[in-house]
Amino acid sequence: MCEIFCFNSNTPKQVNQCLKCFYEHSEDHPHGWGLANVQSDEVFIDKEPIKATCSQHLKNILSHPVVGKNVFAHIRLATMGEIISPNCHPFTEADDNNRSWMLIHNGTIFDCPKLDKYIDKESGDTDSERILLYIIDKINEFEKDKGSLSTIKERFTLLSGIVEELSKNNKLNLMIYDGDMTYIHSNMKDSLHYLRNDDGLLIASTPVSDDENWQHVEINKLFALIDGNVIFESNPHENEFIFTPEHEKAMNEFLKSVTRDEIND
């Protein structure tokens, strides 16, 4: 599938070493990379549909200090969608009140027909982008009915319900940013880790340092972070994802088709 990374802190810190370690995992996730750095109210995004370790653009970025309070990264192993830039994470979209949302996803939507209506609306052809478009629609519906902007608590409650709904029969490791909060969710054991230190909070699919204090993110809960602290935590749902031989077969068939396309190109 993919790997995801997030740094969340109350003060800007340099994260080059962690990012370099993270992107080295692209040998097993060669279908694209992405990097998002939140600066004030603006999100700076770079991404390419090539292996991270082969990207001169990424090497140039990492040759300078990458400093931020909210930094996100992604490396892609395609399980759905072509190997093209619009399918690289992060995905971004604005809601009707001009709030910018960003999403990165590690997993696959195996069973969720209600996302199919976004196939003709998305820029690429991934299930991950459809998740974001669905979230935006739900936010727009809520704020239209309310007649005003949502509070951070209202958005967290809404996202908690959406995540529980979408996680049934699907792997849904998510990192979402709404301009105020970073949301973290995992529903597969041992597939997301965190480390809290003096710099802030690091979260990654695989530990990106030799520190022995990395821990597993608790599954089946949504967490909301601000300035390196968990400010909201949902009740647990029951939709743990367990990877089966059927899932593996479906993924391998898709990866074979990707390899054939790369050879033909």
Instruction: Check whether 261 has a pLDDT greater than 50.
Output: no
Instruction: Check whether 263 has a pLDDT greater than 70.
Output: no
pLDDT mean over 97-121: 94
Q: What is the C-alpha to C-alpha distance for residues 218 and 97, in angstroms, rounded to an integer? A: 32
Each as own residue / partner, the long-range contacts of residues 218-222 (CB below 8 Å, 24 or more positions apart, any chain) are 218/186, 219/186, 219/187, 219/188, 219/189, 220/167, 220/186, 220/187, 221/185, 222/156, 222/159, 222/160, 222/163, 222/183, 222/184, 222/185
- Kindly report, residue by residue over 170-211, the tens digit of the pLDDT: 999 999 999 999 999 999 999 999 999 988 999 999 999 999
Q: Which residues pair with 70 in a beta bridge?
A: 8, 38
- The encoded tokens of residue 249 equal 């077969």
pLDDT mean over 65-77: 97
Task: For the chain, give the percent of residues with pLDDT over 70.
Answer: 94
Higher pLDDT, 262 or 56: 56
Q: Contact at 8 Å (CB) between 217 and 193?
A: yes
In this prediction, residue 42 has a pLDDT band, given cuts at 50, 70 and 90, of confident
Comparing C-alpha atoms, which of 108, 125, 115 is closest to residue 2? 108
Q: Contact at 8 Å (CB) between 185 and 217?
A: no
What is the residue extent of each domain of the chain?
A: 2-264
For position 254, what pLDDT does the model report? 61
Q: Contact at 8 Å (CB) between 189 and 216?
A: yes
Strands 173-177 and 2-14: unpaired
- Kindly report, residue by residue over 115-166, the tens digit of the pLDDT: 999 999 999 999 999 999 999 999 999 999 999 999 999 999 999 999 999 9
Instruction: Check whether 8 has a pLDDT greater than 50.
Output: yes
For position 252, what pLDDT does the model report? 67
Task: For the chain, give the percent of residues with pLDDT over 90.
Answer: 86
For position 258, what pLDDT does the model report? 57
| Polymer length in residues for the chain | 265
Strands 2-14 and 100-106: unpaired
Instruction: Check whether 37 has a pLDDT greater than 90.
Output: yes
* Chain position carrying tokens 């054991």: 189
**How does DSSP classify residue 27?**
G
2-264 folds as Glutamine Phosphoribosylpyrophosphate, subunit 1, domain 1 (3.60.20)
In this prediction, residue 75 has a pLDDT band, given cuts at 50, 70 and 90, of very high
